[in-house]
Amino acid sequence: NSFDESFKSFKRIENTSEMLSVATSDSELSDKTLIGMYDLKLPISYFGNKGIYTIYIKPKEITATIYDIGALVAYPDVRGIVIDIQKIPAQYTNLFQNNELVGYKIEYISNDQKQEYYRLVTSNNKCSPLSQNLTSTNSNVNGYRFNDSSTLSFLTVTPSSSVNFKPNALPFIGTVSQQIIISNTKFDPVSLEVELVEHDADTISYMLEGNQIRSLDKQLITTFNENNEIYKQQEFITLKDSYTGKDMFEVRRDMAGNIDFTQDFNDLFQR
């Protein structure tokens, strides 16, 4: 119940054996937002039936296609992945503003749809192509310069440069027209199991030990919750043989939709 929630910070206790006896509230927390904690709301349209649901929560994934593998004209040794922002779904284009993708993960999809490699984004900036020959180990790639009005984004990733002892062996950062998946690394995927039931421990306890009224004249048994509100009302009927008058069946019928609200537990003791 959100109305009963309270958030407090507690003093540190050096002797843990005395923890229960001396633990006191230090102060009320003004900010009740717990970092990394979120409320999970399950839409009734998907979770309206009783049963066990497995919920898999993971970072949003942006599917994109590599427009080009290029290098910066001003720094020919800096290679990067070029993405056409116009080909990105509209709800994700804001992430392709300058340096908004830093820390994101890029997964590469092979021809057989396997995710075999991944790289981390170290920077992203809007760029435009230039027709200029690059004199470096990246001489076979197109040159780009930063341009904030462009619809292309230049992403540098790590690792992307060769090691000193093998300068001609450049790490793989993708190929033109290759499909990639971009996702953030703020949290790891989480799998939750949620069981939706009609009754919980509280409602079961109402039926087992809750207050009840048995109305002999109306043949009603009314069960109340902890606030003495009607939780369940049932009608008990005895069916007799029409010829002998002998009791044949005892029937219990749920009164849901036809509740007799005159059965009030609090009023019973005030009469």
* Domains defined for the chain, CATH in brackets: 2-52 (no CATH), 61-183 (2.40.30), 201-268 (no CATH)
Q: Which two tokens stand for residue 71?
A: 């290098």
* pLDDT tens digit sequence for 19-29: 555 555 555 55
Identify the residue whose tokens are 């999809």.
109
In terms of residues, how long is the chain? 271
Angle at 228 between CA 224 and CA 232, to 5 degrees: 20
According to the model, what pLDDT value does residue 1 have? 40
Asked if the model's pLDDT at residue 101 lies above 60, the reply is yes
Residue 93 confidence (pLDDT): 93
Q: Which residues contact 253 (CB under 8 A, 6 or more apart)?
A: 234, 235, 236, 237
Contact 255, 220 (CB under 8 A): yes
- Give me the mean pLDDT over the 37-65 stretch: 87
Question: Which DSSP helix (H) or strand (E) runs through 16?
Answer: none
At 260, the amino acid letter reads D
CA distances to 84, 216, 234, 260 from 251, in Å = 71, 15, 10, 18
Q: By the 8 A CB rule, do 117 and 178 touch?
A: no
Say whether 207 sits in a helix, a strand or coil.
Answer: helix
Q: Average pLDDT in the 232-249 region? A: 89
Please tell me the distance from the alpha carbon of residue 250 to that of residue 258, in angstroms, as a whole number. Answer: 20
Query: Which residues are within 8 A (CB) of 204 and not within 5 positions of it... i.e. 6 or more apart?
Result: none
